[in-house]
């Protein structure tokens, strides 16, 4: 009975294994004979290969392979490998009954009896098509991402390992930073930092910020392979595994040098525009104040001059009077500077030879600078004259030189140099053309940024009280603008200052016009003119009338242009009209135009402290600058050659010349 029991137990065990195999549907589990013929077939094999047991048992398992695999002998190699090595394991494409493909994971094990003789093979196949599809999708995605990253040339996109060493490198990084992949992969990313940043620990701080805050984003200077620098926008993000472990860093760098330069240029332009508006507003205010102050000085100086003729010969009174005159004349000089800054001062533009001008004032310069300052001039040969007012330009250069001297309390060197330069459109704020840059350089204390920004503002000074008016540089600024050029200051604290005048070159290099001969006026009280004096300021009008009467003329006073026209219509014997320019309702030039229409031969003399007169006006009128003295008034009337209509003789003028 015992053998029968063991057989029954063995059959029972075989039955359980069969039931187990038959129950599996996710795996194809079947047997092959030694030649590869299918000898058994489970439901799992039927489910994803499509064959029923009676359709496939007795068929060779190679029918599950594609034509190419069969042609390559893959089925036979699989059995041979299983027999030789005890196992065959691989993945590959297999064919279903309906001809469709699936990705299979295959294991083939040899089956042997107790003596080791090969009985066949156990073959297990699993359908991994979905996993394969997911892997393929991931692979394609990774490949596309790699192509994307490698294709980007405007950004440097690369990875760093945990220590900050470069582990990959895209074309953008190669283009921006100049390194080939084999030159940089494996090197520390601190290579891209400046020496100063490396010494300050900036690379380590960047990675520490990533770990602390989860992201690092900055802009700063970076270094290319060739040693040149660029302005970079940098982002560094951490790369972690699913469990949070840090495996490296993703780094993106963009070259934003051009954008930064554009922004800086825009900021400079905006600042220059705001400064221009500010200076224009200050100029308007300064010009208005100077104009009114001129009128007051006109009244003061004129009255003092008339008093000088009438005061008794008392030395004490005479001293006080001269003191008052000097104070008023200093005020007049101050208003001229204010009007120059406001670009409202009459200037005589003519060709000026700069080397000749500086040589002519060298003695004055050296006396003004003192023995502790050395003066050097650097002028190349063949300089073309500039178009400027020689007297005002002398004053400007003297001002700049004295300022340079004051910046060198312990002595130093001043260099006056000049060079010609073509200016293109949009360059340094000038109209296109040929200019000369006249520069006064010193080795003095220089200026900080705040002082440099405010240096040309009127009345701004860093000198001690009583040592300066704060109008020197503002006057030079105004002159340069009025000449059609510009004034440029460059300075650093402790490094000295370069003060440069950009002036347009004269189109025709001619000799400067000779100054008119000085006239000495002798008043002949037996001959007089009939004059209409026009001014809306009663103080100036009273003073002008008094001067004219002192010169022996008969004078009408009019405080408006309309009143002057009424006087001319009422008295046909008027010989001359002297008028202010800035008046309500009608300016002096407009009055001159109206007079010319009705009285074409009537002489008109324009008395003004302003230069803001329409250059295109068709009315040509002689001008007398305010404030003027009685001698100035007499000389201008004499130059005009005015003849009295009443038949009296013309005043006689003595001197070296006249008109």
Residue 262 lies in a domain: no
Residue 145 lies in a domain: no
210 Cβ contact partners less than 8 Å away, ≥ 6 residues apart:
216, 236, 237, 238, 249
User: Region 115-128: what's the mean pLDDT?
Assistant: 90
Check residue 148 and give its pLDDT: 57
Q: Are residues 379 and 463 in the same domain?
A: yes
Strand order in the sheet with 246-255: 155-160, 246-255, 229-240, 216-223
Percent pLDDT > 90 in the chain is 37
Q: Are residues 294 and 330 in the same domain?
A: yes
Q: What is the DSSP string of 500-530?
A: EEEEEBPSS--PPPPPPPPEEE---TTS--E
The tens digit of pLDDT for each residue in 239-291 reads 998 888 999 999 999 999 988 888 888 887 777 666 656 555 655 555 556 66
Looking at 255, 287, 315, the residue that finishes a domain is 255
User: Region 398-420: what's the mean pLDDT?
Assistant: 87
Query: Any idea what the CATH number is for the domain that residue 34 is in?
Result: 3.30.450.20
Residue 588 lies in a domain: yes
Look at 579 and 141; give whichever has higher pLDDT: 579
Check residue 2 and give its pLDDT: 47
**Pairing state between β 101-112 and 216-223:** unpaired
Q: Are residues 547 and 644 in the same domain?
A: yes
Looking at 442, 473, 504, the residue that finishes a domain is 504
What is the band of 486 on the pLDDT scale with cuts at 50, 70, 90? Answer: confident
Residue 136 lies in a domain: no
Q: Are residues 383 and 487 in the same domain?
A: yes
Q: Are residues 247 and 189 in the same domain?
A: yes
Pick from 330, 358, 333, 327: nearest CA to 345: 333
The tens digit of pLDDT for each residue in 71-91 reads 999 999 999 999 999 999 999
Check residue 206 and give its pLDDT: 95
Q: Are residues 314 and 373 in the same domain?
A: no
The tens digit of pLDDT for each residue in 222-240 reads 999 999 999 999 999 999 9
Residue 596 lies in a domain: yes
Check residue 218 and give its pLDDT: 93
369 Cβ contact partners less than 8 Å away, ≥ 6 residues apart:
375, 401, 402, 405, 414
The tens digit of pLDDT for each residue in 210-225 reads 999 999 999 999 999 9
Q: Are residues 203 and 158 in the same domain?
A: yes
Looking at 293, 319, 339, the residue that finishes a domain is 339
Q: Are residues 98 and 170 in the same domain?
A: no
Look at 222 and 330; give whichever has higher pLDDT: 222
Residue 405 lies in a domain: yes
Q: Which segments of 102-247 does DSSP mark as H helices, in order?
A: 129-151, 171-177, 181-184, 195-199, 202-213
**What's the structural domain count of the chain?**
5
Q: Are residues 112 and 74 in the same domain?
A: yes
Q: What is the DSSP string of 549-602?
A: HHTT-EEEEESSHHHHHHHHHH-TT--EEEEESS-SSS-HHHHHHHHHHH-TT-
Residues in the chain: 659
Pick from 72, 77, 73: nearest CA to 90: 77
Quote the CA–CA distance of 250 and 356 in Å, as a whole number.
67
Contact 248, 168 (CB under 8 A): no
Residue 439's domain comprises 350-504
Query: Any idea what the CATH number is for the domain that residue 552 is in?
Result: 3.40.50.2300
User: Region 573-602: what's the mean pLDDT?
Assistant: 91
Residue 137 lies in a domain: no
Lowest mean pLDDT among 59-68, 80-89, 282-291, 628-637: 282-291
Q: Are residues 225 and 117 in the same domain?
A: no
Q: What is the DSSP string of 607-635?
A: EES-----TT-S----EEESS--HHHHHH
Contact 237, 207 (CB under 8 A): no
Quote the CA–CA distance of 14 and 297 in Å, as a whole number.
133
**Pairing state between β 653-655 and 412-423:** unpaired
Contact 108, 122 (CB under 8 A): yes
pLDDT surpasses 50 at 631: yes
The tens digit of pLDDT for each residue in 603-626 reads 999 987 655 555 445 457 888 887
For the four alpha carbons of 257, 259, 263 and 266, in that order, the dihedral sign comes to positive
Contact 396, 502 (CB under 8 A): no
For the four alpha carbons of 617, 623, 625 and 627, in that order, the dihedral sign comes to negative
Q: Are residues 616 and 648 in the same domain?
A: yes
The CA distances from residue 103 to 91, 108, 135, 136, 158, in Å, are 7, 16, 12, 11, 35
Residue 295 lies in a domain: yes
Q: Are residues 485 and 377 in the same domain?
A: yes
Quote the CA–CA distance of 387 and 380 in Å, as a whole number.
18
Is the model's pTM score more than 0.85?
no
User: Region 432-448: what's the mean pLDDT?
Assistant: 88
Average of per-residue pLDDT values in the chain: 79
Check residue 12 and give its pLDDT: 56
């Amino acid at each position: 009975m015992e053998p029968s029991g063991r057989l029954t137990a063995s059959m029972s065990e075989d039955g359980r294994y069969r039931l187990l195999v038959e129950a599996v549907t996710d795996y194809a589990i079947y047997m092959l004979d030694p030649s590869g013929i299918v000898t058994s077939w489970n439901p799992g094999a039927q489910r994803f290969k499509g064959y029923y047991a009676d359709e496939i048992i007795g068929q060779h398992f190679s029918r599950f392979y594609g034509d190419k695999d069969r042609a390559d002998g893959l089925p036979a190699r699989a059995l041979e490998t299983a027999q030789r090595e005890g196992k065959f394991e691989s993945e590959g494409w297999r064919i279903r009954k309906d001809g469709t493909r699936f990705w299979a994971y295959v294991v083939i094990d040899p089956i042997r009896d107790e003596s080791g003789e090969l009985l066949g093979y156990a073959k297990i196949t699993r359908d991994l098509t979905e996993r394969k599809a997911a892997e393929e999708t991931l692979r394609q995605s990774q490949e596309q991402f790699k192509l994307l990253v490698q294709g980007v040339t405007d950004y440097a996109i690369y990875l760093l390992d945990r220590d900050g060493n470069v582990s990959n490198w895209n074309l953008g990084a190669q283009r921006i930073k100049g390194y080939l992949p084999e030159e940089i992969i494996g090197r520390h990313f601190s290579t891209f930092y400046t020496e100063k940043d490396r010494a300050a620990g900036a690379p380590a701080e960047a990675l520490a910020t990533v770990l602390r805050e989860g992201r690092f984003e900055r802009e700063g200077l970076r270094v290319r392979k060739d040693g040149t620098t660029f302005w970079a926008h940098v982002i560094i993000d951490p790369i972690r595994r699913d469990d949070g472990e840090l495996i490296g860093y993703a780094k993106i760098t963009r070259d934003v040098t051009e954008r930064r330069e554009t922004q800086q240029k825009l900021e400079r332009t905006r600042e220059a525009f705001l400064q221009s508006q500010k200076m224009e507003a200050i100029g308007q205010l300064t010009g208005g104040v100077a104009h009114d102050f001129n009128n007051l000085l006109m009244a003061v100086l004129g009255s003092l001059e008339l008093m000088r003729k009438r005061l008794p010969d008392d030395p004490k009174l005479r001293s006080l009077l001269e003191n008052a005159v000097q104070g008023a004349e200093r005020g007049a000089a101050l208003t001229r500077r204010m009007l120059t800054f406001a670009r409202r001062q009459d200037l005589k533009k003519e060709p000026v030879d700069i080397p000749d001008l500086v040589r002519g004032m060298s003695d004055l310069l050296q006396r003004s600078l003192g023995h502790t300052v050395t003066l050097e001039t650097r002028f190349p040969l063949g300089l073309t004259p500039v178009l400027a007012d020689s007297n005002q330009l002398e004053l400007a250069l003297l001002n700049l030189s004295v300022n340079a001297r004051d910046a060198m309390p312990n002595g130093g060197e001043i260099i006056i140099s000049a060079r010609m330069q073509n200016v293109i459109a949009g360059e340094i704020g000038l109209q296109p053309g040929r200019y000369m840059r006249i520069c006064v350089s010193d080795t003095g204390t220089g200026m900080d940024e705040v002082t440099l920004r405010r240096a040309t503002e009127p009345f701004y000074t860093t000198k001690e009280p009583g040592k300066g008016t704060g109008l020197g540089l503002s006057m030079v600024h105004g002159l340069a603008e009025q000449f059609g050029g510009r004034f440029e200051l460059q300075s650093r604290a402790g490094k000295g200052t370069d003060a440069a005048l950009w002036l347009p070159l004269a189109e025709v290099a001619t000799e400067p016009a000779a100054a008119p001969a000085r006239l000495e006026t002798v008043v002949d009280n037996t001959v007089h003119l009939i004059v209409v004096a026009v001014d809306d300021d009663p103080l100036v009008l009273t003073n002008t009338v008094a001067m004219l009467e002192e010169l022996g003329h008969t004078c009408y006073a009019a405080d408006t242009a309309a009143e002057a026209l009424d006087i001319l219509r009422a008295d046909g014997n008027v010989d001359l009209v002297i008028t202010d320019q800035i008046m309500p309702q009608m300016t002096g030039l407009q009055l001159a135009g109206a007079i010319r229409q009705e009285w074409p031969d009537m002489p008109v003399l324009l008395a003004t402290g302003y230069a803001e007169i329409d250059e295109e006006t068709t009315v040509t009128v002689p001008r007398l600058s305010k404030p003027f003295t009685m001698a100035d008034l007499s000389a201008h009337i004499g130059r005009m050659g005015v003849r009295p209509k009443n038949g009296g003789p013309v005043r006689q003028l003595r001197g070296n010349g006249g008109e």
